[in-house]
Amino acid sequence: MTVQLNSASLDVRALRQDFPLLQRTMRGKPLVYLDSAATSQKPRAVLDALERYYERSNANVHRGVYELAEEATAAYEAARQTLASFIGATPEETIFVRNATEAINLVAYAWGRHNVHQGDVVVLTELEHHSNLVPWQILAQEVGADLAFIGLHPDGTLDLENLDRQLQTGRVRLVASTYISNVLGTITPVAEIVRRAHAGGAIVLIDGAQAVPHIPVDVRALDVDFLAFTGHKMLGPMGIGVLYGRQQILEEMPPFLGGGEMIRRVSARTSTWNELPWKFEAGTPNVGDAVALARAVEYLQSVGMEAIGDHDRQLARCAMDRLQAIDGVRVHGPEERGAVVAFTLDGVHPHDLASVLDEQGIAVRAGHHCAQPLHERLGVPATTRASFYLYNDEGDVEKLIAGIDVARRVLQA
């Protein structure tokens, strides 16, 4: 018998007990946290791991000969192994960075400046967060390359027609796409993008900031060349993220930042570079947060990424259905989506809606969600966004719907 995992398989009430912050009240009401696409809350296990590292194991990593430094180094490299396994990569291919933005900038600077030349093309999508747009704008301006964009169907899914057209020119060096849109929730066809890009001689970077926390992601199965993601959206602390890079590409790349740790040998005028992955980790790394992020991954694995993905999808579906039943509400984006629902309400500005919801202890985000070009494409200056995670349930959706009802009474003409 096949067991179909569904949201009933996540014991949300029990999971929620693991998150200290979710126990607090907001403006005298139980907090309803619907902004996990911006940052997730952290389970006790992650907070404990962070504290335990600094209480018991803190020392600077690598090259320390004393036991404590070895312990810290072992904890850091074990964390790397955990993250690598989580995405199907090797530790050599798993570089710790501050966040997804830094991961993408690392590629734009270290790979981009040696591989993208005048007249070359970087293909992006119209869905991109500023973090996967601005670094390529800077690169394109610097080297005289062009940017091209994969457009959207009316429902917010990608129209790959322009990808094919661009690839036919033979000038495309890189395709950089989000995996799950932080506004529309669109799940992009990554494997298909990679297949077409590779056939056209381009490599592929995937912004996995909204995907890696929510669905199983395997870099080998997807065959991507780079994957960027951040820890704080997946139950980990702020300030730690990962860049996955295909080993051969990383080996051919020059370093990003220079300094300690990333070198093999330094003389007065020249230096040689360390092995992967340390070549790309200049300076003292963020060991404590890496260790805590590994604990977050273990927590996610204990719940099950398949189960989390199903849960998120069902909750997004439920929220869409309930929102679309409200007169004057328009939900942006496709039916099949990740845990993100952005919408507009006739006659009510998104910031007002978010403020009225805030008065009821409901945390949602209003604005352009760092995706201004996408909002121009949608024809709205801003949207209100509710996003979900493993600690949300249909009760939270009900509270959101009730909150919107209050906003309509307060603000609609």
Partner 1 sequence: MSSLYTEIIQDAYRHPRHRGELAHPTHSYEDENPLCGDMLRVELRVENGHIVDAKFQGRGCAISQAAAELMMEKVENQPVSAVTELTKDVVLEELGLPSISPARLKCALLPLEVLRRAVSGQTDAR
Q: Which active-site residues does the annotation give?
A: 370
Question: For partner 1, which stretch binds (CB under 8 A), given 74-82, 277-285, 343-351, 385-393?
Answer: 343-351
Of 130, 330, 349, 377, which one interacts with partner 1 (CB under 8 A)? 349
CA distances from residue 8 to 85, 93, 194 in whole angstroms, order as listed: 28, 36, 34
Is the dihedral angle over the CA atoms 100, 40, 344, 156 positive or is it negative?
A: positive
296: contact with partner 1 by CB under 8 A:
no
Minimum distance, C-beta of residue 40 to partner 1, in the bound complex (Å):
21
Cα 135 off chain centre by: 16
Q: Which is nearer to partner 1, 322 or 365 (CB)?
A: 365
Told to check if 368 binds partner 1 by CB under 8 A, we report yes
List 26, 355, 370, 401, residue binding partner 1 (CB under 8 A): 355
Q: Is 328 a residue that touches partner 1 (CB under 8 A)?
A: no
* Per CB under 8 A, 122 contacts partner 1: no
d(CA 77, CA 360): 44
The rounded distance, in Å, linking the Cα atoms of 165 and 148 is 10
Can residue 356 be called a binding residue for partner 1 (CB under 8 A)?
Answer: yes
| DSSP annotation string for 193-244 | HHHHHHHTT-EEEEE-TTTTTTS---HHHHT-SEEEEESGGGTS-TT-EEEE
Q: Does 406 bind partner 1 (CB under 8 A)?
A: yes
Calpha distance 316→250 (Å, rounded): 37
Nearer to partner 1, 177 or 383 (CB): 383
Residue type present at position 88: G
Nearer to partner 1, 319 or 354 (CB): 354
- 158 vs 183, which CB is nearer to partner 1? 183
| CA-atom Rg of the chain in angstroms | 22
Stretch that binds partner 1, among 12-20, 287-295, 321-329, 405-413 (CB under 8 A): 405-413
Given a contact cutoff of 8 angstroms between Cβ atoms, the answer to whether 128 and 184 are in contact is: no
Closest distance between partner 1 and the C-beta of residue 354, in Å? Answer: 9
- We find the least distance from the C-beta atom of residue 366 to partner 1, in angstroms, to be 8
CB of 370 to partner 1, least distance (A): 11
Let me know: does 97 contact 120? Beta carbons within 8 Å. Answer: no
367 binds partner 1 (CB under 8 A): yes
Is residue 402 near partner 1 by the rule CB under 8 A? no
Task: Give 116's contacts (C-beta < 8 A, 6+ positions apart).
Answer: 122, 139, 140, 143, 145, 173, 174
Residue 29 near partner 1 by CB under 8 A: no
Least separation in angstroms between CB 153 and partner 1:
25
**Which of residues 227 and 407 has its CB atom nearest to partner 1 in the complex?**
407
What minimum distance in Å lies between the beta carbon of 281 and partner 1? Answer: 34
Q: In the numeric block, which tokens belong to residue 346?
A: 């006739």
**Cα angle: 114, vertex 145, 223; to 5 degrees:** 60
Instruction: Please report whether residue 258 would count as binding partner 1 according to CB under 8 A.
Output: no
Contacts to partner 1 from residues 370-389, by CB under 8 A: 375, 381-382
180 binds partner 1 (CB under 8 A): no
Q: Taking CB under 8 A as the rule, does residue 359 contact partner 1?
A: yes
Contact 257, 277 (CB under 8 A): no
Q: Which is nearer to partner 1, 38 or 249 (CB)?
A: 38
Residue 241: strand pairing partners: 97, 230
How many Å apart are CA 38 and CA 371, to the nearest integer? 13
Stretch that binds partner 1, among 98-106, 111-119, 320-328, 402-410 (CB under 8 A): 402-410
Three-state secondary-structure class, residue 354: helix
Which position among 159, 351, 395, 402 is part of the footprint of partner 1 (CB under 8 A)?
351
Residue among 42 and 368 whose Cβ is closer to partner 1: 368
Report yes or no: 368 and 375 within 8 Å, Cβ to Cβ. Answer: yes
**What are the start-end ranges of the E strands in 21-162?**
25-26, 29-30, 32-33, 94-97, 121-125, 146-152, 158-159
Q: Does 410 participate in binding partner 1 (rule CB under 8 A)?
A: yes
Cβ 365 to partner 1 shortest distance, Å:
11
Instruction: State whether residue 338 is helix, strand or coil.
Output: coil
Closer CB to partner 1, 300 or 356, in the complex: 356
User: Which residues make up the interface to partner 1 (CB under 8 A)?
Assistant: 349-352, 355-356, 359, 367-368, 375, 381-382, 406, 409-411, 413
